[in-house]
Amino acid sequence: MTTHHAPTKIIVLVAMATLGCSPLCGGESWPLFRGNALSTGVSQDKLPEQLKVLWKFKVKNGAFEGTAAIANGVAYLGDLDGKVYALDLKTGEKKWEFASQDQDGFIASPAIRGDKLYIGDMFGRFYCLDTKTGKAVWGFETE
């Protein structure tokens, strides 16, 4: 599936990078959508007075709709072309990339618990990935 949403190709990560360095550089974690199990969407970290872009990450074909999950200095996010990326928060360097079974895209944000990442694709397959390697621990086809 090739989707072209040029503005969203990098906008998510640019927006994250401009928030400052607090959660991005190892401050508070943001392990799931809206930050925590209560979905408060609030971080206790303080933002710097002057925001600046720290780095950008471009993908060749994909685009992003979901927000990133952040844990242990890494941002994790899935794109609409069925890839999940792990990016170093300080440098923006890609640590690993996972391609879904049928290249079915990801709209929802991933969730992190311990050393596992959980994410479901648009067509009902649910994945558990190892956060260190990006390898699938298991996958489940919903009905």
- CATH architecture of the domain with range 6-141: 7 Propeller (2.130)
Token pair listed for 79: 């794109």
Residue 114's φ and ψ, nearest 5 degrees, are 60, -125
Q: What band does 18 get if pLDDT is binned at 50, 70 and 90? A: very low
Per-residue pLDDT tens digits for 19-70: 444 444 445 676 655 555 555 666 676 778 888 898 888 888 777 777 888 8
Q: C-alpha angle 3/34/1, rounded to 5°?
A: 15
Q: Which of 32 and 98 is assigned the larger pLDDT? A: 98
Per-residue pLDDT tens digits for 128-140: 999 999 999 999 8
- Beta-carbon contacts of residue 138 (< 8 Å; ≥ 6 apart): 127, 128
- pLDDT score of 15 more than 80: no
Decide: 55 and 17 in contact? Cβ < 8 Å.
yes
Specify the pLDDT at position 123: 85
- The pTM score is 0.73
State percent of the chain over pLDDT 90. Answer: 31
